[in-house]
Amino acid sequence: MKYDCIIVGAGSAGCVLANRLSEDPNRRVLLLEAGPSDWHPFIHMPAGLAKLAGNKSVNWDYSTEPEAQLDNRRLWWPRGKVLGGSSSINAMCYIRGDARDYDEWARLVGDGRWAWQNVLTYFKRAEGNTRGASDLHGADGPLAVQDLRCRNVLTDVFVTGAGECGHALNPDFNGAHQEGFGAYQVTQKNSARCSTAVGYLRPAQKRPNLSIRTHARTERVLFDGHRAIGVDYRHGGRLTRAEGGEVILCGGAINSPQLLMLSGIGPADHLRAHGIRVVQDLGGVGANLQDHLDICTLQQCTQPVSYDRLNDVAVLLKYLAKRDGPGTSNIAEAGGFVRTKWATDERCDLQFHFIPALLDDHGRHRLPGYGFTMHACMLRPRSRGTIRLASADPGTKPEIRANYLSDAEGYDLKMLIEGVKRSRDIFAAPAFDAYRGAEVYPGADVRDDAAITAFIRRKAETVYHPVGTCRMGNDDDAVVDAALRVRGVPGLRVVDASVMPTLPGGNTNAPTIMIAEHAAELIRSA
């Protein structure tokens, strides 16, 4: 069968497109996902995300190459490999970023369609917020957004402590102002995860014009000359060919540039070095990699109130019976946004996520006792990395070089040092007096900037927001244009976080969904 659209990747963007494009009964849509369906119960119970970290059946399980500025460590990069993609395994924080982030995109891309007042339409179209509709929020969209039903006592202590330190309290990070501290709203419906597989794909999956293939890994895009005409994908051990009027890559900041390069689109010399025939020389493919690097401050808790030693069976039973209790938690229950003295404009440049538990090495290393954790990430890193092929074999993971802390000015490192100091200040607030034990990390002996720097190089990790590797723009290094069409390759688009010119100021799932909503309209009107 020949399809009108072939969507590669059923993640945060791909599920949105599958729904929106198949609304037209005359448009035949094929959705390909390398991973399984989202059947696993820990995907749907929000707190189950803690159990998914090591589950390679739903995770691409990537790691960077040794990072020179981080003691040559290979940093772990989990990415969703399942219907819903990373929206099925993330912490569900609903954050759009600062309005000025999108005005910056419009300026960099040279197209006002990406300015805030235009993209707000697509944020609202996606959003189903239980607080109701307003000038800044939607209430009827497929992506359910709600306040947490159950919060740990330490979460409220944290918010109080931030206020005691002079920070503003903010009940809506997606409101008129981002700065301040408070509880996150989450992408949940009735206290269950609302991934894009749940919100977008499930209502559309029975449409006769939508075909969904799981366990189907796309190996290359096919061309007639320079025009994309379909894909080869491996399914059930067999290589299968699908042809379509348009191919849309939604694999994310790692998989989309990898697939472009495997298909002959990318830096010509790099492709030739791997024996790949060059279809289109685009040096920007795999470049401009950006991510939010994060540093954690961990404190012991003197009372057994954190999530560290919960009875997993009891949590699950209470959740299944009442949709209540710790099982409803996204773990990162509250946080905040801060503008430091190094900010170059009015936007915040640090973000915090508070965890009422001891979280080390993405939760893979369990620490004894009870405690709480503060994540601090720099929102506007100046360091840039790359995605490159390790092999022409589609089954070989690509080389990820994030180049963290490599900016010449040292700005990124200064921001993380500031993040540690701000975290410590809040943990020292009077609100924590009844709960504060010894500091676990960085540790009481780590005081001056040199010692904090050594700690950062030893312990900093990603907070899971890679973007930018198929950047949109109108310059020679851009990979896609403002309509997300691959430059010089008719019939091929990229629609995912890889097209972002710069990181938005916050978590990237909601902005990725917005991009897909916007792209669906661009495609329908083409």
Mean pLDDT of 490-518: 98
Average pLDDT, the chain: 97
Asked if the model's pLDDT at residue 372 lies above 90, the reply is yes
Q: Which CATH architecture has domain 2-40+196-288+468-524?
A: 3-Layer(bba) Sandwich (3.50)
Which CATH architecture describes the domain 149-183+293-380+405-459? Answer: 2-Layer Sandwich (3.30)
Region 207-223: mean pLDDT is: 98
Question: Residue 1 pLDDT > 80, yes or no?
Answer: no
363 band by pLDDT with thresholds 50, 70 and 90? confident
Residues paired with residue 127 on neighbouring β-strands, in sequence order: 143
pLDDT tier for residue 225 given thresholds of 50, 70 and 90: very high
Helix (H) or strand (E) holding 8: strand 2-8
| Contacts of 331 by beta carbon, 8 Å cutoff, 6+ apart | 46, 47, 49, 50, 91, 307, 355, 356, 357, 359
Is residue 319 very low, low, confident or very high in pLDDT (cuts 50, 70, 90)?
A: very high
What average pLDDT does range 293-301 have in this prediction?
A: 98
64-73 burial string, b = 16+ CB within 10 Å, else e?
bbebebbeeb
Q: Catalogue the E-assigned strands of 404-449.
A: 436-441
Q: What is the pLDDT of residue 365?
A: 83
Q: Under 8 Å CB-to-CB from 443, ≥6 apart: which residues? A: 455
Q: Where along the chain do its domains lie?
A: 2-40+196-288+468-524, 149-183+293-380+405-459
The secondary element (H helix, E strand) that includes residue 259 is helix 252-262
503: Cβ contacts below 8 Å, ≥ 6 apart: 290, 291, 292, 379, 380, 381, 465, 467, 468
Mean local confidence (pLDDT), 235-243? 95
> Looking at residue 296, what is its pLDDT?
98
Q: Which amino acid is at 103?
A: D
Q: Could you give the residue numbers annotated as active site?
A: 465
Question: pLDDT by residue (tens digit) across 438-489?
Answer: 999 999 999 999 999 999 999 999 999 999 999 999 999 999 999 999 999 9
Give 31's pLDDT tier (boundaries 50, 70, 90): very high
| Both tokens assigned to 274 | 């791997």
| Mean pLDDT on 130-134 | 98
